[in-house]
Chains A and B, each alone.
Chain A
Amino acid sequence: MQNNEITRDSLLSTETYVLRIENLSMHFGGLKAVDDLSFHVNRNEIFGLIGPNGAGKTTVFNCITQFYTPTRGNVFFTTDASRLQKGGDPSRQETLNLVGIPVHKIISLGLVRTFQNVEVIKELSLIDNVLIGGHIDFKANVFEQALKLPRARREEKAMREKALEALDFFDIADRKDMLAGGQPYGVLKKVELARTLLCKPKLVIMDEPAAGLNDSETDGLTQNIRKIRDAYNCSILLVEHDMGLVMNVCDRICAISFGRFLACDVPEKIRTNKIVQEAYLGEEE
């Protein structure tokens, strides 16, 4: 059964993980897309989730971010107390179970994701696309926005500066006013990453960040992923098919197949793991 009753205080913590998935299962009718899966992501860790096509990686992501409510299991997330209630101590860490939290509330906890097919809005400029990531930080209501009252102006200005910083982080600040439509795919991928930075993330979930990128762009991505982790002091969980990137950038990797756990270890061990090779890399031999 779901363990929603766990109180925050009982888990209050000195936990070193930012995300802990516990016996997660997601069934669609008879199909077990995710089956009794457990793993955890440590603080400041770059964690990879790999598996053959249809292994259920994206389903895991959707269960974490509550697009799906898991059939069974828990998703524990550790975040600053200040994000859970007003006036909370930002240095204090609290753990909560994400299961059942409305999907649009997830980002306010510091958990943000990117998408397999970049989800940017073509008709908006790059900076406006990034600003969407700051949605939850706007306090001014619709009236204040319509009349451009001081608070709305102030927030817009502050957020714009932040968005510019985020674009600058990826060296695309010079394109800030260009429309997203017509930009190269590599730039759009960067915009999507820049957007995640606006909410001061604790954990960024990336769904195939290297898909569609060429080799040099993938190299840049490798550096950027590390840069995000170091600059924002956050953890990163990524699903990726590009084994070069995964092996290169990840601190630890979890391999799954048909929704089931295979192995979880450092890249070198995963590379030589017999079970993983059979399920995933076996074709090469």
Chain B
Amino acid sequence: MDSNKQPTAMKKTTNFLLSLYHNQYLRFVLFGLLLACLPQLAKMKLIKTGVVTTMAQILIYAIAALGLNLLLGYSGLISLGTAGFMGLGAYVAAYFYGDLQLSFWIALLAAVAIPTLIGTLVGLTSLRISGFYLAIATLCVSEILLKTFQQATDLTGGTSGKNISYPVIFDIAFKRDTMYLLLVVALVLVMMLTWNLVNGQFGRAMHAMRGSEVAAQAMGVSLLKYRLLVFAIATAYAGLSGALYVFFVKGTYPTTWVLNLSLNILAAVVIGGVRSIYGTVLGVFVVWGVSDLFLNNIPFFRQNPQISFIVNGVLIILVVMFYPNGLGKLPSDLKAGLSRLLGGRKKPGIPNKEER
């Protein structure tokens, strides 16, 4: 009797463990926990404090990049206005929290809502025409916003920028390390939301649109509605990203929100691979992390900081040339390569869909 029961119990446990292993949310949480360890490591003097700052920056930009990834990866539309909308989020958060003395949550909400609203208006006017018109339109909006940041001195502090303090949330005064943890939580939540979106009706509609606009319409997908939706989501992410930036850096200057930032985020999305959540984060890491975390440890690059930008650029070109699917494909490619090496020839079966 017992011998009969044991295998089923074993099987149950293994099944349970397998389902845990395949649980995407658990993976996101684990990913977050790993990231959350960094400040502790810095405290133990295992890594430099600067690493935490760089990582924080990466977490912030990754949120905006995830938004752009949705837009680019599914609708094929390109926005060059990410920086502008991020900046708008940053200034709105700073104004609501610093000047108006409103609570952190209200400031955060406003910093997401206002860019989304403006983004939707821009989308309404420019999304009817497909192609690169959106890129131009968003570039213009971004530049207008940038000029506003510089000129509307009463609201934005002009070129000298705006400074706020670390936020107080639920009566807890946040410090640098706790802010970092907040960033981790925010990124993990955004990754989960993105995952849910991509794997639901919304994601399927976007896939259908990308595959064939004609077929998508025949299935009842309204092109304008979904283009607008995904564009609004991208701007919402950008706004959130900007708000988190301002709370972590404790200030914002117009010079941050220039075209260069938008292009870097676009590069991160391309490097990471469109339609890949982890890939996007990895792409942001490559764009911002590699030079700061690795190259600057080498004396030559420390003395010639400009060169590290060149190395970064070359790296981007190499990835795009030789790994055009993006780094997000890396794990599955490695797995396939390994099994080919170890198990000889793989049966020419049909690839299974990744766990859902």
A residues near B, CB below 8 A?
65, 67, 102-108, 112-113, 115, 119-125, 128, 131-133, 135-136, 138, 140, 142, 145-148, 152, 155-156, 175, 177-179, 181-183, 195, 199
B211 touches A121 (CB 8 A): yes
B196, B217, B223, B351: the one contacting A147 at CB < 8 Å is: B196
With an 8 A cutoff between CB atoms, is B297 at the interface? no
Smallest CB gap from B193: residue in A: A146
Residue-wise, chain B 164-202 has the 8 Å CB interface mask toward A (1 for contact) of 000000000000000000000000000001001100111
A67 touches B214 (CB 8 A): yes
With an 8 A cutoff between CB atoms, is B270 at the interface? no
The total of chain B residues at the interface (CB under 8 A) is 30
B204 touches A178 (CB 8 A): no
B residues near A, CB below 8 A?
193, 196-197, 200-202, 204-205, 207-208, 210-212, 214-223, 229, 233, 275, 350-353
Smallest CB gap from A153: residue in B: B200
Shortest CB-to-CB span from A148 to chain B, Å, is 5
Classify the interface of chain B: helix, strand, loop or mixed.
helix
B350 touches A135 (CB 8 A): no
A156→B203 CA distance, assembly (Å)? 12
A113→B220 CA distance, assembly (Å)? 11
Smallest CB gap from A138: residue in B: B201
A145 touches B202 (CB 8 A): yes
Smallest CB gap from B205: residue in A: A135
A213→B295 CA distance, assembly (Å)? 57
Smallest CB gap from B208: residue in A: A132
A177 touches B353 (CB 8 A): yes
B197 touches A145 (CB 8 A): yes
With A121-B210, A179-B353 known, 6 other A-B pairs at CB within 8 A are A104-B220, A107-B218, A107-B220, A115-B212, A135-B221, A147-B196
Q: A177-B353, A182-B350 are in contact. Are A145 and B211 (CB under 8 A)?
A: no
A128→B350 CA distance, assembly (Å)? 16
Residues of the B chain whose Cβ atoms lie less than 8 Å from the Cβ of A105: 220
27 A-B pairs with C-beta separation under 8 A: A67-B217, A67-B218, A104-B222, A107-B220, A112-B219, A113-B218, A115-B215, A120-B211, A121-B208, A121-B211, A122-B211, A123-B207, A135-B208, A142-B202, A142-B229, A142-B233, A146-B196, A148-B196, A152-B200, A155-B201, A156-B200, A156-B201, A177-B353, A178-B353, A181-B351, A182-B351, A199-B220
